[in-house]
A and B are shown apart, each in its own frame.
Chain A
Amino acid sequence: MKLAYYPGCSLHSTGIEYDISTKRVCEKLGIELVEIKDWICCGSTPAHQRDDLMSIALPAKNLAQVRETGDMKEVCAPCASCYSRLKFAQQRLADDALRKDVEMIIDAKYPGDLIVYHMLDVITEKFGVEAVAQRTTRSLNGLKVACYYGCLMTRPPKVTGKGQFENPTQMESLIQALGGVGVDWNMKTFCCGAAFALTKTDVVLELTRKILADAESVGADVISVGCPLCHANLDGRQTQINAKFNTKFNIPIFYFTQLMGLALGIEPKDLGLHKHITEVGDFLKERALT
């Protein structure tokens, strides 16, 4: 299996362990990821809040770059925000007039025949949960995982094409295949406030607190995520939340690729697990996952 890989800006900075673990896991599973040549920012939230035309042109430029990179028909993005922007662009570019304008802006032909996947879809739908289960060398040993999807992995369904968008379960089936248990909880598609991390931090602290509190109340050991912005908020803001709300959260936040990596027998340091702000080292030892 060979796919064009669009890491996006976050995976080269705040979400670097997502990039590391995704590459390691795909290598182990025999999924070939070819990084898109000279990829640029997808525009993310600031683009669609400020400049409608560029919010379509930036992802379109990246899709056009796939042609420059190699003969691939499928693109995958691990970041939920990048994934969403690529999908939005594809939907909007069905309009001929807009496509003409965008092609003029990006100075390239827009390829209309690409299929864009989120990394979780690549694993659960294309590769298959069963196939992952066959390759595991270590069980997560009944680890109770709150699977957190956030907003853009599933919403809006008109753009993502997801059938289950209020109560998705694909990550739970993956966790089950790894020997863990996906807990039943309320906040799996609730927003963490992602785009406001730097501008309206109070909103982020409140929304993130709700997510952490719900995971804790149902007895989850860890939260599993598939978005670098969700991770930055849930993992990085726990100290600030504890200070503001007088709570004692110390919940390890993993990317689903890191949990996969552990079950596939990859060393924690090769999965970037030492890079988390909420330390997970002791937890891994306690659960015999190293």
Chain B
Amino acid sequence: MKVVKQQDIKLDSSFAEEIAKRSGENVFLCYQCKKCASGCPSRMFMDSTPTQLMRYAQLGMVDEAMKKNTIWYCVSCQTCSTRCPADIDIAHVIDTMRIIGQEKKLKADDNKLPLFNRLWMTMIRFMGRAYEPGLVGSLNFLSGKPTKDMALGMKMIKKGKLKLFPSFKKPFAMMKMFSRAKKLRK
């Protein structure tokens, strides 16, 4: 266990306030019961537990929360949010931290998840619907593993489980939707 010295802790609630402003979730309600950590299927891959993450948010320990791999290993399974006795939507808190991390372009463990999210949203913006071969191809290429899952992909094509060509659903309307959302956020 890592011991944090008192002089290294800067008590600052601005991080918790930002989370509350964006998500409506109050991290100060957490009393560290560890139910979220116990139920988390992805816990074994994380640098710290969801319970610790909530503590970091309470204490304003932004680096501990945002620069470890923890938030990038949340599988969005909703188990923590379902079981939290303080009724905090923890998965939503983590999503909010991820959004802040992506906006500030913080280095996120291997950066593959932000890349995937960006590619996915770009795909939807121009095509309206998912186009898996294009997504997998560009993800693998950009993350330097061009042959990942190739055997499985070939099998799926043979079985007719992958569309060879994308379908475009009202691309102009989609692009307009995204730009209206962008304007609204400003």
Contacts and interface: CB of A to CB of B under 8 A. Distances in A.
Contacts of B107: none
A124 interface: no
Nearest to B78: A155
Nearest to B176: A107
A14 B185 contact: no
B177 A16 contact: no
B22 A9 contact: no
Given A41-B128, A54-B178, A155 B82 contact: yes
B181 A46 contact: no
B161 interface: yes
B75 A40 contact: no
Nearest to B83: A166
Interface stretch (A112-120, A138-146, A177-185, A186-194): A186-194
A199 B161 contact: no
A39 to B, nearest CB: 8
A49 B23 CA distance: 12
B120 interface: yes
A240 interface: yes
Interface residues of B, number: 60
Interface string A7-46: 0011011111000000000000000000000111101111
A130 interface: no
Interface in A226-242: 236-237, 239-240
B128 A40 contact: yes
Interface in A139-165: 151-152, 155-157, 165
A101 B184 CA distance: 8
Given A50-B118, A191-B79, A194-B75, A40 B99 contact: no
> In terms of DSSP, what is the predominant structure of the interface of chain A?
helix
A126 interface: no
Given A41-B130, A47-B121, A200-B112, A156 B180 contact: no
Nearest to B139: A198
Contacts of B102: 50
Interface of B: 22-23, 41-42, 44-45, 73, 75-79, 81-82, 89, 91, 95-96, 98-99, 102, 112-118, 120-121, 124, 128-130, 132, 135-136, 139, 148-149, 152, 155-156, 159-163, 167, 169-170, 173-174, 176-178, 180-181, 184-185
Interface of A: 9-10, 12-16, 38-41, 43-54, 57-58, 61, 101, 104-107, 151-152, 155-157, 165, 190-191, 193-196, 198-203, 206-207, 236-237, 239-240, 274-277
